[in-house]
Amino acid sequence: MANCAIVGINWGDEGKGRMVDLIAADYDVVVRYQGGNNAGHTVVNEFGKFALHLLPSGIFRSGVVNVLGNGTVVDPEKLIEEIEITQKAGISITPENLKVSDRAPIVFPYHRDQDVLEEARLRDAKYGSTKRGIAPVYGDKYMKKTIMLGELFYPDYLKKRLSGILEWKNLTLKNVYGGKTYTLDELMDWLTTYGDKVKPFICDTGAFLRENDGKKNILFEAQLGVLRDVDFGIYPYTSSSAPLAAYAPIGSGMPGAKLDRVIGVVKAYSTCVGEGPFTAEWFGDEAEKLREEGAEYGAATGRPRRVGPMDIVATRYGVTMQGATEVSLTKIDILSYMDKIPVCVQYELDGKKTDDFPFPAAIGAAKPVYDYLPGWKCDVTKCRSFEDLPKEAQDYVLFVEKGIRCPITNISVGAARDAIIRR
């Protein structure tokens, strides 16, 4: 039995959901171990097209158990909405194939409000939040002021704790932001409406995973990528959690587990949602053409993604930080319209060229250094082997592979589940 993590190498939105949906056929359990409903994992299969925000991407595979680990944060209202939407498409979701950690913090309506209010307060200095309450709830977690899902089974204990937390939170909402405050009764009613529907799925997921470690194949699904990691990303333009493969055992509830395989997911070009430095960013018509060809709009937010060429410097850094054993390259088909394909191979910083990814305070001054490869100018969506690809596309893959210093084992040539080349 083997443990595998599928993780993002860049800014997120690399195509992790699509790869999890594909690879989940070989695994018994799929675990989300960090983040919340700020994810936007797009999956296209025989059931339709889905943008999964909180549900693990293995939910479409019969016989696969899907887990939201203790490292995730869960908005019961949004989870129930997503479950109901997915069920309407004919997907069975029961406590047998979806398990939610009793230690996962609850995202309350006041967390969402605080997220919106803080981004408005920051104005032009905003971080690019999805406004789903993720940063506030993670902040509260480390201040020991969150409610865990398991507390729903202890109503008197929950009510007492929530009362104390709410007094503190209302002071923040009113006196810092001039925002709406909440009553204890309002939040208890909200928990009754949505929390009660989540309760059948809540269990000690850590115990379930630890019991099956070494007995079942377990796949860990990350949200976002290295450059949004709170410790090693472009701080402060990061998420508030750890999307690194190294965090998967902790965020899932099995800290003693070892990863046998780490698959890093990389787009054939660069995209970014949110604020912060983006060295190889394109603007104007050039950017708009790539954005339209790739349908680059955030699945969670609908925002147009910032786009640019493949960034070897950032990607090699991401591969290193993830400890990736292999890479899946997605959306190579999108580049088919280009006559020549730019690749950012170095940064220029203070008049010197560098192969190293800079410290966050320095990266805003970095300039991209490009090499150009010939385009292939033909449709590759029907290719199913590496040899089927035109030579120029093969050369592009090999060039990227050499630059990031990690083998590329999967190449996606389209959105459909079977539009994949395995090397």
Please, are residues 109 and 182 in contact by the beta-carbon 8 Å criterion? Answer: yes
Please, are residues 247 and 259 in contact by the beta-carbon 8 Å criterion? Answer: no
**Catalytic residue selected from 26, 28, 41, 350:** 41
CA proximity to 74, closest of 137, 155, 25: 137
Please, are residues 406 and 264 in contact by the beta-carbon 8 Å criterion? Answer: yes
Q: What angle do CA 338, 344, 347 make, to 5 degrees?
A: 155
Taken in order 273, 274, 278, 283, the sign of the CA dihedral is: positive
Residue 365 to residue 105: CA distance in whole angstroms:
38
Instruction: State yes or no: is 111 an active-site residue.
Output: no
What's the longest Cα–Cα distance across the chain? 67
Pairing of strands 218-225, 261-267: unpaired
Q: Which residue type occupies 377?
A: K
CA proximity to 140, closest of 95, 173, 98, 177: 173
Residue that has been written with the tokens 């949906």 in this structure? 21
Please, are residues 113 and 179 in contact by the beta-carbon 8 Å criterion? Answer: yes
Burial class of residue 144, CB neighbours in 10 A (0-12, 13-18, 19+): exposed
**Catalytic residue selected from 13, 102, 140, 333:** 13
The residues facing 297 across adjacent strands are 304
Helix axes 312-322 and 391-404, enclosed angle (nearest 10): 60
CA proximity to 366, closest of 354, 352, 348, 382: 348
Instruction: State yes or no: is 41 an active-site residue.
Output: yes
Q: Cα separations (Å) of 336 from 159, 291, 390?
A: 58, 14, 10
Q: Is 230 helix (H, G, I), strand (E, B) or coil?
A: coil
The residues facing 271 across adjacent strands are 307
> Quick one: the chain helix, strand, coil %, rounded to 5?
40, 25, 40
Residue 99 to residue 79: CA distance in whole angstroms:
12
Q: Which residues are catalytic?
A: 13, 41
